[in-house]
């Protein structure tokens, strides 16, 4: 595949889906440009324990290092270029696809794979948390155990990273007050036996800065309001699609691949809220690179 553009394939995001797309494309001799806002496999670096990725992987950072090494190998072969940057918009045109970066750069290729995954929900995204004056609150899944031991910690939401974090830190001497809305109730079953948690269903939580911590005002689902001060607040409320301008969104904000321009391919977690798994993302990424390859072979790309 050759053309007048920057590459045969643009890949936005270098998680499992984006790296798989780039490696597959490079193996097919497609000139590939990958744009990554943070670092290769950034999300994987915070996953302490893995048990569902074929190949013997048991921790995310090792897999992230292996993906970075894969990309480096293909860079050395001269077929992949990795750019640090944040894409803000993708556009499918009749003869090309374009990606616009936040610094104004515009890249063009025969097709673009968008594999930007999901981002963590913040208090501003959910109706049950009121935290207008609170500073940025870090997500639980990125938290190190060291800074939390012996401190009073509130976790907002009972999303699945709670169980993952506790399994990854079996010896951490932490005590979490987990304040969760009714919608998260079904997720608490897998951590119900955990001694290091106090699970508390609430209808509303207010958070304001206090000396050395935060004042929490919790309205309990069973009735009554409780106000107390904690050392730290971590968020664990779920995620939302990291969709880019120019993509067609479904009613849930995700980006169904079949609704996009033919030159704009979506892979990995960004496709939908189900099936968000590393191995699935890798398969998706590989497939998304094969699509423009076969279109070009057939003379339709
Ligand atoms: C705490 C936690 C534990 C998990 N545990 C498991 C597990 O045990 N097993 C499992 O299978 N899955 C697990 N997952 C899910 C798994 O991490 C995802 O399914 C997988 O990473 C999705 O891959 P992806 O490539 O679609 O997206 P991501 O891995 O999210 O990669 C997206 C990449 O795109 C980049 N990016 C985003 N926006 C832009 C932009 N505008 N411009 C440029 N780059 C951008 C990001 O920096 C990121 O590197 C876990 C997730 C979390 C949060």
- Ligand 1 atom closest to residue 42's alpha carbon, by position in its atom list: 49
Closest CA to ligand 1's atom 38 = 116
Pair 287, 145 in one domain: no
Domain termination residue (choose one: 192, 207, 235): 235
Identify whether 1 is part of a domain. no
Are 98 and 168 in a shared domain?
no
Mean pLDDT within 138-154: 93
- pLDDT over 70 at 297, yes or no: yes
Confidence of residue 300 (pLDDT cuts 50, 70, 90): low
Atom number, ligand 1, closest to the C-alpha of residue 161: 1
Residue 54 lies in a domain: yes
Name the average pLDDT for the chain: 94
CATH number, domain containing residue 191: 3.50.50.60
On whether both 28 and 98 belong to a single domain, the answer is yes
Is 99 inside any structural domain? yes
How remote is the CA of residue 162 from the centroid of ligand 1, in Å? 17
Q: Are residues 217 and 284 in the same domain?
A: no
The alpha carbon of 124 and the centre of ligand 1 are apart by a number of angstroms equal to 21
For residue 165, give the ligand 1 atom closest to its CA: 1
Task: Name the residue among 14, 5, 30, 27 with its Cα closest to residue 97.
Answer: 5
For residue 102 and ligand 1, the question of a CB distance below 6 A is answered with no
Which residue range(s) make up the domain with 148?
A: 123-235
Q: Are residues 47 and 59 in the same domain?
A: yes
Asked if residue 50 has its Cβ within 6 Å of ligand 1, the reply is yes
Give the residue from 235, 262, 284 where a domain finishes: 235
Residues 281 and 292 in one domain: yes
Of 235, 260, 288, at which residue does a domain stop? 235
Tell which atom from ligand 1 comes closest to the C-alpha of 285: 25
User: Is position 2 within any domain?
Assistant: no
* CA 18 to ligand 1 center in whole angstroms: 10
Residue 4 binned pLDDT confidence (cut-offs 50, 70, 90): low
269 lines ligand 1 (CB under 6 A): yes
Q: Quick check: CB of 139 below 6 Å from ligand 1?
A: no
Q: Is the pLDDT of residue 3 over 60?
A: no
Question: Which residue's alpha carbon is nearest to atom 37 within ligand 1?
Answer: 116
Picking from 179, 195, 183, the residue whose alpha carbon sits closest to that of residue 227 is 179
Q: Do 114 and 156 reside in the same domain of the chain? A: no
**Residue 69 CB neighbours (<10 A):** 11
Identify the band that residue 173 occupies on the pLDDT scale cut at 50, 70 and 90.
very high
For residues 220 and 135, state if they share a domain.
yes
Cα-to-centroid distance, 30 and ligand 1 (Å) = 24
The answer to whether the beta carbons of residues 21 and 114 sit under 8 Å apart is no
Contact 92, 263 (CB under 8 A): yes
The verdict on the CB of residue 13 being under 6 Å from ligand 1 is yes
Residue 191 within a domain: yes
Q: Are strands 225-230 and 32-36 parallel, antiparallel or unpaired?
A: unpaired
Banded pLDDT at 2 (limits 50, 70, 90): very low
Same domain, 210 and 278: no
- Tell me: do 111 and 175 sit in the same domain: no
Task: Examine residue 136 and state whether it is found in any structural domain, yes or no.
Answer: yes
pTM of the model: 0.87
CB of 121 closer than 6 A to ligand 1?
A: no
pLDDT value, residue 36: 98
Is residue 82 one of the residues assigned to a domain? yes
- Together in a domain, 225 and 257: no
Same domain, 39 and 74: yes
- Domain count within the chain: 2
């Amino acid at each position: 595949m050759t053309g007048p553009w920057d590459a045969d394939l643009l890949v936005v995001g270098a998680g499992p889906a984006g790296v798989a797309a780039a490696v597959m494309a490079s193996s097919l001799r497609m000139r590939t440009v990958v744009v990554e806002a943070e670092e290769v496999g950034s999300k994987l670096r915070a996953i302490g324990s893995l048990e569902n990725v074929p190949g013997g992987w048991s921790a995310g950072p090792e897999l992230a290092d292996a993906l970075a090494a894969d990309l480096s190998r293909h860079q050395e072969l001269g077929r992949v270029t990795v750019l640090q940057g944040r894409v803000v918009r993708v556009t499918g045109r009749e003869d090309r696809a374009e990606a616009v970066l936040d610094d104004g750069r515009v890249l063009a290729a025969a097709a673009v794979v968008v594999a930007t995954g999901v981002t963590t929900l913040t208090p501003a995204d959910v109706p049950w948390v009121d935290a207008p004056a609170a500073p940025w609150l870090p997500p639980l899944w990125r938290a190190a155990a060291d800074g939390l031991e012996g401190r009073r910690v509130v976790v907002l939401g009972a999303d699945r990273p709670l169980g993952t974090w506790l399994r990854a830190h079996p010896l951490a001497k932490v005590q979490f007050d987990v304040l969760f809305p009714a919608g998260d109730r079904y997720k608490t079953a897998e951590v119900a036996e955990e001694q290091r948690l106090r699970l508390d269903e609430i209808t509303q939580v207010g958070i304001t800065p206090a000396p050395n911590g935060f004042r929490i005002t919790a309205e309990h689902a069973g009735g009554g309001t409780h106000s107390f001060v904690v050392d730290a607040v971590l968020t664990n409320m779920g995620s939302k699609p990291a969709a880019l301008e120019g993509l067609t969104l479904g009613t849930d904000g995700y980006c169904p691949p079949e609704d996009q321009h033919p030159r704009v391919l979506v892979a990995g977690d960004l496709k939908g809220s189900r099936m968000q798994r590393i191995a699935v993302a890798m398969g998706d990424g590989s497939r998304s690179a094969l699509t423009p390859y076969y279109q070009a072979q057939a003379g339709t790309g």
